[in-house]
Structure 1
Amino acid sequence: MNLRLALSLTTILYSTVCQAQPPTLNLYTFESPPYQVASQEKGGGNRISGETADTVVCAANRAGWATRIRITPQNRAIHSLERNMIDGYFAIDPSAELDNIARRSDPVALEKWYFFTGGNKAFTNNLRIGVVAGSNEEAWLEANGYAIFLSVSSPSQLLALLKRGRIDTALMDERVMNRLRYENDSESTQLTANFVRYAPLYLYLSEAFVSEYPDFLGTFNRTLNSCMAGQLALSEEETRRITELSGRLFKEMISVLDINQIIEAGPRQESFTDVMTIDSQWQALVPVTTPDLAERILALPGSRALLAWQESHRGLVTEVMLINDMGTLAAMSQLTSDYWQGDEPKFQRVMENRVTGTEAERRLYISPIRYDTSSARFQITASTPVVPGHGKSAIGVAVIGLSIEEALSQVEQY
């Protein structure tokens, strides 16, 4: 092989390999274990990992992009984002400043913020509040009119100041505090945890990046729920409280609505083939318009009754639907993305083996936390079988959606 031919083949091979490499998304974030953690790699570089970093990497990869993530102070990150020196910055609480200079993704993380106070002291507005300087929590306190007594450089300093009585309360994420207490052998120290909010955190993309790659954000958002799978689990105590709340809500619903009759009055298809055909058409139309069948279901007296009951619990109940034993919608308080619900856990878990009687009445399924794009909030669903009488088989499933923040806004003892 002559030299010229060899060089030509090498050039072609190199060009092909380069073209196969995905483009790289250049991102900034800040260190916040266990969500974003910097570790040393061979060769001296830093590797950024952790739950939120891994979620962003996963969603970007599925959108066809590699990532390069670096740790930097918030002020520098915002400065760089504003001047289009980076592609994006995460995991950030939404702000008017950032919304003016960049485009926000769907949430890439969900933190649970508490005011942690020493002993059994309840939170009041006159307590000395400590917070990490430059954090999402500090920005939220300032935006909501709280007086900050002390800002420090790290969460571990907040725990030390709490133990010494230098501050009365600290605002931080629950998992960050639990990790600190474990690492510092402080788990025996009594703290009162006063729930503040579920804090969704976002990726902000520069305007220049979004303008050059307009399809990226939509693809990135569509993959987030699957990339976050397993990270939004309810604790054992939260599951207990949600189960009790859901049980009370279902009991109330059954007492004021004839849900058996509503299911019987809903539409029903002759065959599973018909169900699949309608479901495919439904899913194709819903992002743009309301299918004719959906219009008819929403106009049913049963659907209007479900909506009225939902509105009586405004802020807590986010949706209500009744599903017949074929797995299709019989009534709904608002438009859903699917007509056939039979392949989803909220239906399958409570209809397994055609449960009957008291067994069905005890069966309740609580879903994982998910971000609902239509309502722009995190929610869970609770579902229970609908049984017409003792000893009879379930004729369908009742489902309610709950705002997780509203459902868990209570004081807890640690």
Structure 2
Amino acid sequence: MAQVRIYRGGKQLALMLFLSVVAGLAGCHRAKADPASKRFLVLQTNLQPPYQEFDNGALTGTTIRRLDCAFRKIDVDYGITLAPRQRNLDMTRKGQADGFFLSRLSPEMASYAEPTLPLALEKWVWVSRHHVNDGPSRVPHPDQNVTVGAVLGSNEAEWILDQGYPDVVHAPSLRSLIALLQKGRIDFAVTDQQSFARKREDLNLNADDFSERFASYMPLVMYFAHNYIHENPEILKKLNRALDACEPAVVKLDHDEQDRIMREEVVRIRQLMRAPALINALRNHANQQDPAIGTIVSPDKVVALDRDWQEASANGTASRLAAKILQNDVSTYLQRAYRNRDVRFAEAFIFDRQGLIIGMSSPTSNYDQSSEAKFNIFAEKTADAVQIADIYYDPSSSKFLSQITMPVTDPQNGDVLGALTVGLDVTAALTSQD
């Protein structure tokens, strides 16, 4: 079978086509790239536009760009072999490859591999033929008499089986899956929204001929084989830090989703902001001098405090300052609000006009927010300003969050007391039937 191998190292890139048996791929691959290097990494993947795709003979895509960025930062050369996804899993399990991507998180893989932070976030949708009477709740359930389909060996196919759907059809490709849907052979197909849109356009199909309903957000990772982790114990930590510093893996909210969040969730958040207990706590903070850090903190001190804060956070603890802030009245209110089941957020924090955290429901990753996009909320001229960020995956809570930021104002005089950021649990918000 034809195997495409891509060698990456430094500034050089070579694309070669081989005819070889799968069992010999890993050793040959490593030797051709750099037989003396113990750091060279052998990875398996499959084509999956727009994440991994060919463009003028070069392997590219959003995932490849993130990996290139991260591996450059940690100075690791690596090679990629293209093969069907199931074969990639088998080769990693058998020790014939050092790792593979993209994969959903799976407890079954824990016996032979360890995951990285997400390389990509997908929005999976249920796709059906469009009907005039389609409603927003028209999604299949395992106990219904419907036939669902997915691409053979795909992440979506594994997920469908895990959800307990009894009547599942596996198509050899996304093109075939769409054809089965058009012919009425299946009632619903589950697929990544971006991949479906790309294939639909390639086939010159009208978007109005299909209905899409939200199925799930899914973090897709790279798995390192246990034997590679054993030989390179620092690789996972280093790569995750590098991925954090490279192009973020996000999902954009579409127009309807933003409208729903504005209509339902922002209303709930505003109720939190206007509570007398929070306003009084923020007034007290603004009117008192903190002997530990002062009301206005010098730039040098901010850098030092932020460094201590981030180092402690990376080790799963709270810095001295973070621990103190967690005990104040602002934090106490946010922690109480977090336990309110009517509010769908995984975190909430308030920062001042300097960008510094003054209250939080749980420890944040950093103290200084002034270099982040959310800090721009202070430039808005209206008290009703709202900033809704792209969706990201939070590994600590295993939730998909969108940070919603808005100013908190004093109802007596209109003064801005700070800015509240809420990490909204988007899955809970968009799948609720309220």
Normalising by structure 1, we get a TM-score of 0.84
- The reply on whether 1:282 has 2:309 as its aligned counterpart is yes
- The reply on whether 1:32 has 2:48 as its aligned counterpart is yes
Out of 316, 319, 326, the position equivalent to 2:347 is 319
Letter in 1 for 2:248: A
Q: CA deviation at 1:365?
A: 1.3
1:22/1:66 contact within 8 Å kept: no
What SS does the aligned partner of 1:31 have? coil
Measured in 2, the distance between the counterparts of 1:283 and 1:226 equals 14
Quote the residue 1:269 is aligned against: 294
Normalising by structure 2, we get a TM-score of 0.80
Instruction: Give 1:240-255 correspondences, 5 Å limit.
Output: 240-255=259-274
CA change 1:129–1:27 in 2 (3 A) is same
Quote the residue 2:155 is aligned against: 136
1:329/1:339 contact within 8 Å kept: yes
CA change 1:164–1:19 in 2 (3 A) is closer
Q: Provide the identity percentage.
A: 27
- The reply on whether 1:211 has 2:230 as its aligned counterpart is yes
What SS does the aligned partner of 1:369 have? strand
- Specify every segment of 5 or more residues in structure 2 that has no aligned partner in the other structure, as ranges: 1-33
Quote the residue 1:361 is aligned against: 383
Deviation by residue 1:349-375 (Cα, 9 ceiling, x = unmatched): 1112xx5xxx42221112233333433
Quote the residue 2:247 is aligned against: 228
CA change 1:309–1:271 in 2 (3 A) is closer
Q: CA deviation at 1:391?
A: 6.4
Quote the residue 1:301 is aligned against: 329
Q: CA deviation at 1:37?
A: 1.7
Deviation by residue 1:244-286 (Cα, 9 ceiling, x = unmatched): 3442122221344533222233456244324443333322333
Measured in 2, the distance between the counterparts of 1:380 and 1:241 equals 13
What SS does the aligned partner of 1:250 have? helix
What SS does the aligned partner of 2:326 have? helix
Q: CA deviation at 1:341?
A: 2.1
Letter in 1 for 2:374: K
Which deviates further from its counterpart, 163-172 or 375-384? Answer: 375-384
- Runs of 4+ aligned residues of structure 1 deviating over 4 Å after TM superposition are 18-23
Quote the residue 1:100 is aligned against: 111
Which deviates further from its counterpart, 123-132 or 229-238? Answer: 229-238
* Residue-pair matches, total: 383
Measured in 2, the distance between the counterparts of 1:325 and 1:209 equals 47
- The reply on whether 1:192 has 2:211 as its aligned counterpart is yes
What SS does the aligned partner of 2:406 have? strand
Q: CA deviation at 1:40?
A: 6.8
- The reply on whether 1:384 has 2:406 as its aligned counterpart is yes
Q: CA deviation at 1:199?
A: 0.9
Deviation by residue 1:138-170 (Cα, 9 ceiling, x = unmatched): 111111211233211001111112112121110
Which deviates further from its counterpart, 156-165 or 370-379? Answer: 370-379
Quote the residue 2:79 is aligned against: 68
- The reply on whether 1:177 has 2:219 as its aligned counterpart is no
Measured in 2, the distance between the counterparts of 1:338 and 1:251 equals 25
CA change 1:342–1:54 in 2 (3 A) is closer
Q: CA deviation at 1:60?
A: 2.1
